[in-house]
Amino acid sequence: MQTRDVLVKRWSVVSARSFEEVLERLTAPIGRTDLIEFHRAMAAAKTLAELEKLVLAAVGPSGFMEITRYDHGAVLRKERGGEGPKMLRLVFGNPLIMKEMARVVADAASYAPTTILVDERADGVHLSYDSMASLLAPYGNPVALAVAKDVDAKVQRLLETAAC
At the second CATH level, the architecture of 10-31+62-163 is 2-Layer Sandwich (3.30)
pLDDT digits (tens, 9 = 90+) for 39-60: 999 999 999 999 999 999 999 9
Say how many residues make up the chain.
164
How far apart (Å, rounded) are the C-alpha atoms in residues 20 and 152? 24
Give the pLDDT confidence score for residue 138 in this predicted structure: 94
- In the chain the first and final C-alpha atoms are separated, in Å, by 45
Is the Cβ–Cβ distance between 131 and 159 less than 8 Å?
no
> Across the chain, where does the E strand assignment appear?
10-15, 65-70, 87-93, 114-121, 124-130
Give the pLDDT confidence score for residue 82 in this predicted structure: 80
Give the pLDDT confidence score for residue 8 in this predicted structure: 94
Q: Break the chain into its structural domains and give their ranges.
A: 10-31+62-163
CA neighbours within 13 Å on the CB side: how many for 37?
6
pLDDT < 70 regions, the chain: none
How far apart (Å, rounded) are the C-alpha atoms in residues 9 and 152? 11
Give the pLDDT confidence score for residue 84 in this predicted structure: 85
Alpha helix (H) residue ranges in 7-70: 19-27, 35-44, 48-58
Give the pLDDT confidence score for residue 6 in this predicted structure: 84
Burial-class residue 108 by CB neighbours within 10 Å (0-12, 13-18, 19+): buried
